[in-house]
A and B are shown apart, each in its own frame.
Chain A
Amino acid sequence: MAAPVAESWSWFPVLALGVSLLKCLFISSYHSTDFEVHRNWLAITHSLPVSRWYYENTSEWTLDYPPLFAWFEFGLSHVAQHFDRNMLVVENLNYASPSTVLFQRLSVVFTDLVFIFATRECCRCVQEQKGSRDVLNRPSFVLAVLLLWNFGLFIVDHIHFQYNGFLFGFLLLSVAKHLQARHLQGALLFSILLNLKHIYLYVAPAYGIYLLRSYCFTQDNKDGSVRWRSFSPLRLLALGSIVVSVCALSFGPFIVMGQLPQVLSRLFPFKRGLCHAYWAPNIWALYNVLDKGLALLGVRLKLLEEAELPRASMTGGLVQEFQHSVLPSVSPSVTLVCTLLSILPAVASVWRRPRGALGFLRCLLLCALGSFMFGWHVHEKAVLIAVLPLSILAVESREDAGIFLVLTTTGHYSLFPLLFTPAELPIKVSLMLMFTVYSFTALRKLHSSQGPLLRPLEIIYLLGLVAVGIACEVVFPLSPWQQRLPFLPLLATSVYCSVGVCYSFLRLYVSLLRRDEEKPKQT
């Protein structure tokens, strides 16, 4: 392969096309109930008038994303009618004809174009090393592969079925715009994203504080602190009007129809339990396990009566309310307080000493990870909100690369239980190995001059992941405990991964606070 001397981006379309073709190969693989969710939403938005969208509940999968996403599904439904009209009938529950599957799968692949465009913009923002002629060694190339061929995004979107690529495209594009100092565009993109899926509210504090601090205050003092006099009301007005107008466009019709309370109740359903059926690897998984452990210990030591313990199982298949037996139960407000406390130092750091757009990115990361750690009813898929932006930092800084390897490998492994069918086992193992081998070797080569990326303890932990994997996927199904304790592998995966995720969270915080101690650099 001839290495061109000039800055040639010919490899980018090849990477993008390659991954898109690979996605098309899995059209007939397993898909989860999320497939039916989106088919239902296509049907609702196409067949019913707008006033009925948030009241419709023929299917259990009611519309629980903000209105812009509903309009997106409405647009898709116009293309869908050329594939198979029957999928747009609301009563056709669990309808999955071959044309339906083809259409839905292709729509995910097609909307991933937003993600591909966003990756391109992020790669442009990454600083190139001077004099590196080898394409494989360029930070932009490595970042492109880490984003486009991300294992977690691939299996969640194209096998499990969701539209995360589309949404993350908006997030990454907004980040790229901020890195390029185009703040208004970044704010616009983020407002659109918020109105597409409200889970990104978790990272809104980072945006809010950063834009207020670095955009509305046009100048800093010499030591980096805020110069109150340089406040620009015009800029604040511009930002405010962008956000308000996007929200008005999205929620406007429903406010006019007086349906806002109903929409909000659909968007924020707090009836679900603390943890998803499969515990996301966050603090609450460790809390649950500790509680169970203490309960078992208490029964053994005759400190507790077994009959007194609540009967509800936390590891049951459906989402239910449950209580803890020994430790205090956790309510949604407690999780909110914990989340806010966890992101407070990061946000405060951005306010006191903003380090440009990269500092904002770090704060965004910590907000995302903090809310993953302490949030209510978190899905394990949410770890991707932290993994993808961290890729940008990983190709530029050695310390971040090390944290990235731990968080990504752990986070990706925690997604394994999503694909539980035996036919998908070789796919998830091979793809995971591919991504892991690539990320380790590419990042090590990129930062080779600055020493090893991982500490020995981290290497041992990651090797332990392999052992857990083999135990859960191969050994356990063939062992006698399969009948008695069917949720043991899920428990083991969840707990083992939460250790890694917590560790990465702490390390990221330490790295942020350590940067805070240094003298402020010119941004």
Chain B
Amino acid sequence: MQTWSLVSICVLLGVVVRWGVSLNYYSGAGKPPMFGDYEAQRHWQEVTYNLPVQEWYFNTTDNDLNYWGLDYPPLTAYHSWICAYIAKMINPEWVELHKSRGYESPAHKLFMRATVLVADLLIYIPAVVLYCLYLTDGSSKKKVSTLLCFLLYPGLILIDYGHFQYNGVSLGFALWGVLALGLGWDVLGSMAFSLALNYKQMELYHALPFFFYLLGKCVKLGLMGRGLFLLARIAVTVLVTFALCWLPFLSDPSQTMQVVRRIFPVARGLFEDKVANTWCSLNTLIKIRSILSSESQLYLSFACTLLAILPSCIRLLTKPTFWQFKLALANSSLAFFLFSYQVHEKSILLAALPVCLLLNNLPLMAVWFLQASTFSMLPLFLKDGLLVPYVVTSLAFLFFSIYLLSALERCSEEELRLGSLP
């Protein structure tokens, strides 16, 4: 069968599964006074539409930062503004200042879910399709199998379409960055990744591999010639992208500082709730949070994170191949997840994306990790009433990936690349 038809069937199946999950509850459904992430996104639409840009990140009478204050970089705010503009055309009650707090209705739920789907269709899904078709090796059947498994990864579906978030946008931009870098378009790749960073600051988990890969490439091209030129172009692109995204906030230094303070809340402790990283696990044996002071906790996590990612980054610097880059992405995001400060369980998605890129090469380990990552978010899903979608999507992902990618058959030492360095 032709590849285009198989690809379209996979994409349609991905859309059906996503919409099927979205029929269930979202976070904080029917739970006043704070509700959940769904209400947070709706509130941001309300704030960005009704208030002037200068007030978005500040605590004013109209904008109470304690009730889901904006804590993502400006691109999220612009996205919320666009959604609010459309919402106002359909039903102004959804984004009315103050009065729309806690607004819940079937029509509104449909609208919000639709915004997630539209964002996915525009950004995330095309990136996945292009990645699987152009940067995966093997027969076209293998590429389509990888595409199907990539699109069926349960963690992202359940968080974006169940719990309610827009991870598809930031991960999609990051994936566009990876795609561009893989095809050799370094400047476009760095622009895409800058956009990802400006959407969610957690993309910093992926930043160091991007930096070291591009630096290593420039070094290889020769720091006195083309390498320097490339470095300059990348630097200018990144700076211009950041400047464009932060334009309304650059006029006043206090504005810029306030945004930075909102997106990096260092006052909030080593970890919150239960999350599957070292600090939370260690805390069951040694009560770190009470032993060390807040500042030393910060330094400790910083040191451990750095220590964990340095080896792969140095290797990437000396040997900037695409394969190394993918591995470094996985390593860096996992290191950040395990050792960083104020990690939420949803941050495992940042590690899941690079591992999805490895589905084709290391199917067994990738499937294993992806399954475990979804499982690690189970308490969150139970809280949101998403047990049935969780079971269904996890089982489907497990069976399809094991069957289509022959995960259990490719288990030799050489296949698993556990041996010496290639």
Contacts and interface: CB of A to CB of B under 8 A. Distances in A.
B116 to A, nearest CB: 12
Contacts of A441: 1-2, 5
Contacts of B117: 426
A426 B11 CA distance: 13
Interface string B89-125: 0000000000000000011001000000100000000
Contact of B396 (A10, A21, A431): A21
A427 B388 CA distance: 18
B29 to A, nearest CB: 12
Contact of B406 (A2, A18, A22, A137): A2
A1 B141 contact: yes
Given A24-B388, A430-B12, A14 B2 contact: no
Interface stretch (A26-34, A36-44, A318-326): A26-34
Contacts of B17: 22, 25
B1 A136 contact: yes
Interface stretch (A237-245, A369-377, A432-440): A432-440
B364 interface: no
Contact of A21 (B8, B142, B395): B395
A248 interface: no
Contacts of B141: 1, 136
Contacts of A433: 8, 12
A25 B15 contact: no
B163 to A, nearest CB: 16
A442 interface: yes
B194 interface: no
Given A1-B145, A1-B406, A28 B23 contact: yes
A1 B143 CA distance: 10
Contacts of A423: 23, 106, 110
A392 to B, nearest CB: 20
Contacts of A1: 141-142, 145, 404, 406
B20 A427 contact: yes
Q: Which of B8, B12, B409 has the most CB of A within 10 A?
A: B12
Contact of A25 (B389, B404, B409): B389
Contacts of A24: 388, 391-392
A21 B13 CA distance: 12
Contact of B392 (A2, A25, A29, A438): A25
B19 A426 contact: yes
B19 A427 contact: yes
A18 B12 contact: no
Chain B binding site: helix, strand, loop or mixed by DSSP?
helix
B400 A430 contact: no
Contacts of B2: 441, 445
A18 B110 contact: no
B20 A14 contact: no
Contacts, number: 82
Interface string A290-304: 000000000000000
B24 interface: yes
Contacts of A25: 17, 20-21, 388-389, 392-393
Given A25-B17, A423-B106, A434 B1 contact: no
B42 to A, nearest CB: 18
A430 B16 contact: yes
Interface string B367-388: 0000000000000000000001
A5 to B, nearest CB: 16
B395 A427 contact: no
A32 B103 CA distance: 27
Contacts of B110: 422-423
A252 B406 CA distance: 54
A431 B391 CA distance: 21
Contact size range, B: 35 or more
Contact of B20 (A10, A26, A445): A26
A447 to B, nearest CB: 13
A515 to B, nearest CB: 30
Interface string B1-38: 11001001100110111011101100000000000000
A28 B399 CA distance: 23
B299 interface: no
A438 B5 contact: yes
Interface string B239-254: 0000000000000000
A255 interface: no
Interface string A459-490: 00000000000000000000000000000000
Contacts of B399: 14, 17-18, 21
Contacts of B8: 433, 437
A426 B396 CA distance: 21
B392 A430 contact: no
B403 interface: yes
Contact of A438 (B9, B15, B404, B409): B9
Contact of B13 (A10, A422, A434): A434
A294 B107 CA distance: 41
Interface in A435-458: 437-438, 441-442, 445
A22 B20 contact: yes
A220 B95 CA distance: 79
A22 B403 contact: no
A502 to B, nearest CB: 29
Nearest to B394: A21
A141 to B, nearest CB: 10
A178 B175 CA distance: 54
A434 B12 contact: yes
Interface in A220-261: none
B16 A22 contact: yes
Contacts of B21: 25
Interface string A488-509: 0000000000000000000000
B398 to A, nearest CB: 10
Contacts of B24: 28
Given A1-B141, A434-B16, A26 B23 contact: yes
Nearest to A2: B406
Contacts of A102: 388
Contacts of B404: 1
B403 A437 contact: no
Contacts of A422: 107, 110
A17 B392 CA distance: 11
A2 B404 CA distance: 9
Q: Which of B9, B117, B145 has the most CB of A within 10 A?
A: B9
Nearest to A135: B141
Nearest to B397: A21
A176 to B, nearest CB: 26
A55 to B, nearest CB: 38
Contacts of B20: 22, 25-26, 29, 427
Nearest to A423: B110
A353 B406 CA distance: 50
Nearest to B16: A430
B382 to A, nearest CB: 15
Given A21-B392, A426-B15, A430-B12, A14 B403 contact: yes
- Nearest 7 pairs of A and B residues by beta carbon: A25-B20, A441-B5, A434-B12, A21-B396, A24-B392, A430-B16, A430-B12
24 contacts: A1-B141, A1-B406, A14-B399, A14-B400, A18-B396, A18-B400, A22-B16, A22-B20, A22-B392, A24-B391, A25-B20, A25-B388, A25-B392, A29-B20, A29-B23, A422-B107, A422-B110, A430-B16, A434-B12, A437-B9, A438-B5, A441-B1, A441-B2, A445-B1
Interface of B: 1-2, 5, 8-9, 12-13, 15-17, 19-21, 23-24, 106-107, 110, 117, 141-142, 145, 388-389, 391-393, 395-396, 399-400, 403-404, 406, 409
Given A25-B17, A25-B20, A430-B19, 4 more contacts: A22-B17, A22-B392, A136-B141, A430-B12
